[in-house]
Amino acid sequence: MPLDPKALAHLSTKPGVYLFRDPGGTVLYVGKAKSLRSRVRSYFRGVGDLSVKNREMMRHVENVETLVVGSEVEALILEANLIKEHRPRFNILLRDDKTYPYVKVTVQEPFPRVFVTRTVRNDGARYFGPYTSVGSMRQALEVVKRLHTVRSCRYDLPREAPERPCLDYHIGRCLAPCVGLQTRASYRAMVDEILGILEGDTESLRRDVEARMREASVRLDFETAARLRDVVHGLDTLAREQRVQKAHGGDLDVVGLARDGRLAAGVVLRIRGGLLLGRQSMRFGSVADESDEDLIGSLLGRYYLGGGDARRSDLPREVLLPVAAPDRDVLEQALGEAAGRRVVVAMPRRGDKVRLVELAADNARHLLEDRVTAMAYASDRAEDALYSLQDELDLKVVPRLMVCFDVSHTQGAETVASAVVFQNGEPRKADYRHMRIRGDWGNDDFRSMHEAVSRYFRRRRDEGGPLPDLVVIDGGKGQLGAATQALAELGGLEDVHVLALAKREEEVYLPGRRDAVRLDRKNRALHLLQRIRDEAHRFAVTYNRKLRRRRTLRSDLGDVPGIGPRRQQELLRRFGSVRGVREATRDEIARLPGFSEALASRLLTYLGR
């Protein structure tokens, strides 16, 4: 309805939810009310009584929509769901935090995997976490995986297996159980040791790392010693975060809050049977004008009631808060109805429960601080991008070794191709290759791509080294088809994944799929693909320009008596271009192999010097 003050007098006095919309119909704000008429009219009683944010909001509000419900509990639940659906700009922005992961061990598989995940499922696997100190956890987990060489591929072993080991085997990160080079019994024994470490039994591994740290110090290798010291801290983190936390009352959820200017963070610690089982982290944005009570109310409503059926299936008997919650009675009633028993929402003032709230607040403060410091772990970001790429494209193996192809030419002439290699998310420039396309294909990029892929993989297979886990093609469906045809003709390369990345819309094309895959623009997997694609394009264009310079130089100098192909090449190597030759002195040219002062003078005369 339009915002006519007279019409507002006819709003219902029952509980409900109201939505403020702008002239275009976009939802600006969602709120709940015990009495819709009183709450909505309060926005028009005096602009001076409104907060800065609400005054700005009311400048854009064109109409209001109201939904009447049967009780305050229903209004609370509906508000949480509508905020989650519309994400209004003037509501408190709350997002589930994705920074703090779990460690997952797929013990239900014959050859279990150990990896980081942010999704907990009832699939028979063992989950550890979530962890607050991301950098330390990842560093320690990396050491554990290196020492125990657990596999990172997704093959359903032993039913499904590749024909040859992947790069992890060649660099010593896996013993290749996929091809029978490690027995199932040996692999399971290794996984049992990993489970013990993740459960907190890190002492033996800690002693080993400390011994290596002391040896490095004796050798004056302080860089290695410092790295091992950080590993010890990471192992301590693994042990500490799995340590049992006892609390009176048994089943509790403990809420913590921390804020820093416009930003804030909240956590919910899940304690069941007196044990700390996990933690959910959330972040707020644009909250400078919001009170702590409003933040807690927003967190509770959307965490427990915003469509979270999985969360509501395991409700505690008591929820501990750092500040008093608005609508506490309503929240208790809603949680009690969902749990089928009473759920108490309280703010403790003394005893062990106060210390638990302080612990939750410490977690929230750490959440705000660690968001900045965690970005210092560049190697962790690379690992995240690789695993994200595996997840997004459903690859069997983590694409540690990647090669990207691009074709470049100048109106069908000087056609070249590049092949750039990334290992563990970083360039391996020593393995970069470029090639002149031998076939007279002209502007046919597809046939040029077919030739480049064929020549590259034929040589790689003949050399006997590890083949790439993923091939990235700069182009669309046509280039992808040419590359997959080249691999099929060579044979024995079925385990090599191939994709194409199109420039205009940054769409990913996969063999056998008609529609492109669109990755989120902020996804680190897409950023990695863009990076290797752009590097392949740069390398190809650079080589193409080099050939063009050579052709230009040779065409300009080819008529000079006594300047044959070999001397032209020498001039190109030394001076780079015709302009460089023209600006050189006679003595500089005469010192080149095969040149004399007389020939240098003749050349400069020809060039107009």
pLDDT tens digits for range 271-301: 777 666 666 777 776 676 788 888 888 888 8
- The confidence band for 131, taking pLDDT boundaries of 50, 70 and 90, is low
550 lies in a domain? Answer: no
Distance CA 119, CA 286 (A): 27
Query: What does the block give as tokens for 490?
Result: 């060579």
477 domain-assigned: yes
Residue burial 482-520, b: 16+ Cβ < 10 Å; e: rest:
bbbebbeeeeebebbbbbbbbeeeebbbbeeeeebeebe
Cα–Cα distance between 103 and 126 in angstroms, integer? 8
CA dihedral sign, ordered 360, 364, 369, 371: positive
Cα Rg of the chain (Å, integer): 32
Residue 399 domain-assigned? yes
Same domain, 367 and 391: no
Instruction: Please report, for the domain that includes residue 509, its CATH number.
Output: 3.30.420.340
d(CA 423, CA 91): 44
Q: Are residues 370 and 392 in the same domain?
A: no
Choose the final residue of a domain: 346, 375, 404: 375
Burial of 388-405, coded b for 16+ CB within 10 Å and e otherwise, reads: bbbebbebbbbbbbbbbb
Cα distance between residue 533 and residue 508, in whole Å: 12
CATH number at residue 602: 1.10.150.20
Query: Residue 532: which residues within 8 A CB-CB, separation 6 or more?
Result: 402, 404, 420, 422, 472
Domain shared by 395 and 348, yes or no? no
What CATH number did the domain enclosing 277 receive?
3.30.420
Residues 541 and 565 in one domain: no
Least confident segment among 249-263, 304-318, 403-417, 451-465? 304-318
Place of tokens 């940054």: 506
Q: Mean pLDDT, the chain, as a whole number? A: 80
Q: What pLDDT is attached to residue 298?
A: 83
Q: Say what the pLDDT of residue 550 is.
A: 64
Which of the listed ranges 527-531, 570-574, 594-598 does the model predict with the highest average pLDDT? 527-531
Question: Has residue 310 got a pLDDT over 60?
Answer: no
Beta bridge partners of 19: 30, 65
Asked, for residue 538, whether it belongs to a domain, the answer is: yes
The pLDDT tens digits of the residues spanning 537-580 come to 999 988 888 776 666 555 567 667 778 878 877 887 788 777 78
> Same domain for 492 and 422?
yes
Flag whether 94 is in a domain: no
Q: Is the pLDDT of residue 97 over 90?
A: no
DSSP for 508-561, please give it: EE-TT-SSPB---TT-HHHHHHHHHHHHHHHHHHHHHHHHHHHHHHHHHHTTST
Using pLDDT thresholds of 50, 70 and 90, give the confidence band for residue 140. low
230 and 263 fall within a common domain? no
Q: Is 300 inside a domain boundary?
A: yes
Same domain, 368 and 394: no
**Based on the domain organization, do 232 and 310 belong to the same domain?**
no
pLDDT of residue 375: 36
Segment 457-510, tens digit of pLDDT: 999 888 887 899 999 999 999 999 999 999 999 988 888 999 999 887 789 999
Domain boundary among 73, 93, 114: 73
How far is residue 4's CA from residue 10's CA, in Å, rounded to a whole number?
Answer: 11
Q: Residue 21: give its domain's CATH number.
A: 3.40.1440.10
Contacts of 342 (CB under 8 A, 6+ apart): 317, 332, 336
Residue 186 and residue 278 share a domain: no
Q: Clarify whether residues 478 and 585 are in a common domain.
A: no
Q: Is residue 87 domain-resident?
A: no
Residues 291 and 321 in one domain: yes
Model pLDDT, residue 453: 95
pLDDT for position 265:
83
User: What range does the domain containing 312 cover?
Assistant: 252-375
Q: CA nearest 391: which of 191, 104, 183?
A: 104
Instruction: Give the whole-angstrom CA distance, residue 402 versus residue 474.
Output: 13
The pLDDT tens digits of the residues spanning 142-153 come to 767 767 889 989
- Give percent helix, percent strand, percent coil of the chain, each to the nearest 5: 45, 20, 35
Residue 579 maps to a domain: yes
Residue 249 confidence class, pLDDT cut points 50, 70, 90 = very low
Q: Which residue has the higher pLDDT, 103 or 40?
A: 40
**Lowest mean per-residue pLDDT among 48-62, 315-329, 439-453:** 48-62
Which of 349, 375, 401 lies at the terminal end of a domain, its last residue?
Answer: 375
Tell me how many domains the chain contains: 5
Are 325 and 399 in a shared domain? Answer: no
Q: Which of 56-65, 273-282, 435-444 has the lowest mean pLDDT?
A: 273-282
